[in-house]
Every structure is written in structure tokens, then in C-alpha cells.
Amino acid sequence: MAEMLEIGEGAARRRLAVEARPATTRREDPPIVWLGGFRSDMRGGKAERLDAFAARTGRACLRFDYSGHGESEGRFEDGTISLWLEDALAVIRAHVDRPPVLVGSSMGGWIALLVARALAGTPIAPAGMVLIAPAADFTERLMWSRFPESIRETILREGVYHEPSPYGDPTPITRALVEDGRSHLLMDAPIVTGCPVHILQGMQDPDVPWRHAVETMEAMASDSVTMTLIKDGDHRLSRDEDLDRLEETVARMIEAAGEG
């Protein structure tokens, strides 16, 4: 059962659901920190696979739900990149005592890059990153810039547009989300993570096109970045072979970080 971490002050006070698996034998290895995607939660296949990997190998694994996601408090419609970044930093600072390997999926890839920037120069700056279909700057590049004028007008006039989703109920895209996202854009300048990065990207991904991931990699000019393109991979990359690849990539990143 998840523990609840209380963060924020006053009206912004909220409780986040957190699953923190302690290391049993590999206590010196970087802990794995899972950063989920937009409207996803920590009970998904990729997060569960990484937790099982950590349990089997004696490593630490940290996962949680952002505000308005999964088992955490709050309404999804009230969420912004600022809020979810604050969630991630609060959970990491509460549970991590050495440089972690951040594993960010979709929006979690953007959050991971922002976390790395916020933690740069601290004792818990990331030792490595594995990014799955990283959706850096998605509110602007993958939403606002691609919306027709009619949808933009709806967002500006009504404050929200309910976008149809193949994964379930329509997704509320709020004006606050879009406008707040502009204060966190990364791809118009060099992205510096301070650690090695491995990107896993499906080439059949309709949500985060593989060319977007390539542009993200190109923006990380000063870092050691590797990309694996999966020709028949979709956005979720949750097939057995995808999960095997994810586990192997994270294991290699942990080993490389330990050698460094």
C-alpha cells in the first residue's frame, strides 16, 4: 500500500501517493526513480516492471503519482507542469539520498529534464536518465502549435478543451496548463543534463513522433546521449519485448553510473 507524502502550504497543501522500495543488497547503486506520463499512474506496466527488477536485484526504486493522478489527491484539471515538477522534486528530496537514475515516460521525460536542471550541483543530481518517448515542451510543440484555430479559441474562451483520447475519457487540456508550460520550455536552447541519457522511442508513436525525440536529442548537444528507435513501437512501449528492453537499458545505465 502506498504511503502518503504531504507537501505544499495552505490551499496548495496536498498528499501524494508514493511507493518507495528500499535497497536490500545493492545499497550503493543509484536508486531508480520513475516519472510517469500525462494522465498515467505508478501502477502501469513499465513502472511495475522496474519495481520488480529492483526487488529482484536488491536495488532501491521510487515511484509516485503526481497531483490529480492515480492515488494522489487533487484534480487532474488543476495540474500544470509547475505543479507536477514540484511534486517530483518533493518526492525525490524526501526519499533519495544519492544520485538516482531517472526513468521518465512521455511527459515524465520532460519532468526528468526539468528535475535534472533543478538538482544540478546538489548531492542528488541524477547519475543517468532513461527517457521513453520524451515529450519535452509538449504543451507548446505537440498541442498548442498543432491545434486548429477553433480549438485554440475554445481554450482561450472557456479555459479548457476536452480532447478525445484513444486511452479512455477525453483529456482536459486547460489554458493554465498551456500557459504555465511556456515557463518550462527547454528545446529552444541547449539542454544540459549533466549525466548520460538513453532515449527509447517507438517509430509508430502518434502522440510523440520519433522526429520530436530526435530534436530533443539534438538539443542535448553537450551530453552523452544514445537513442534506440523501435521501428514497430507505439507510444506506450509496453509489450513484453519493450519491457525487456527497458529493463536492460536501465540496468546498463545503473552499471555505467556505478563505474563512473
Site of grid cell 549525466? 195
pLDDT (0 to 100) of residue 168: 81
pLDDT (0 to 100) of residue 260: 54
pLDDT (0 to 100) of residue 221: 82
Q: Give the cell for residue 61.
A: 526504486
Q: Give the cell for residue 130.
A: 532513461
Task: Measure the CA–CA gap between 66 and 19, rounded to whole angstroms.
Answer: 12
Give 6-36 pLDDT, tens digit per residue.
999 998 899 999 999 999 999 999 999 999 9
Q: Is pLDDT at 130 greater than 90 in this prediction? A: yes
Three-state DSSP state, 41: coil
Site of grid cell 515557463? 183
Three-state DSSP state, 26: coil
Residue 60: partners with Cβ closer than 8 Å, 6 or more residues away? 20, 21, 22, 23, 26, 27, 29, 31, 32, 54
pLDDT (0 to 100) of residue 166: 81
Give 195-212 pLDDT, tens digit per residue.
999 999 999 999 999 999
CA dihedral sign, ordered 198, 202, 205, 211: positive
Q: Is pLDDT at 191 greater than 90 in this prediction? A: yes
Q: Give the cell for residue 87.
A: 511534486
Task: Measure the CA–CA gap between 62 and 60, rounded to whole angstroms.
Answer: 7
Task: Measure the CA–CA gap between 225 and 196, rounded to whole angstroms.
Answer: 6
Three-state DSSP state, 248: helix
Q: Is pLDDT at 244 greater than 70 in this prediction? A: yes
CA 215 to chain centre: 17
pLDDT (0 to 100) of residue 119: 98
Q: What angle do CA 108, 113, 116 make, to 5 degrees?
A: 120
Rg (CA), the chain: 17
Give 46-64 pLDDT, tens digit per residue.
999 999 999 999 999 999 9
Q: Is pLDDT at 258 greater than 80 in this prediction? A: no
pLDDT (0 to 100) of residue 259: 65
Domains and CATH numbers, the chain: 3-137+190-255 (3.40.50.1820)
Q: Mean pLDDT for the chain?
A: 96
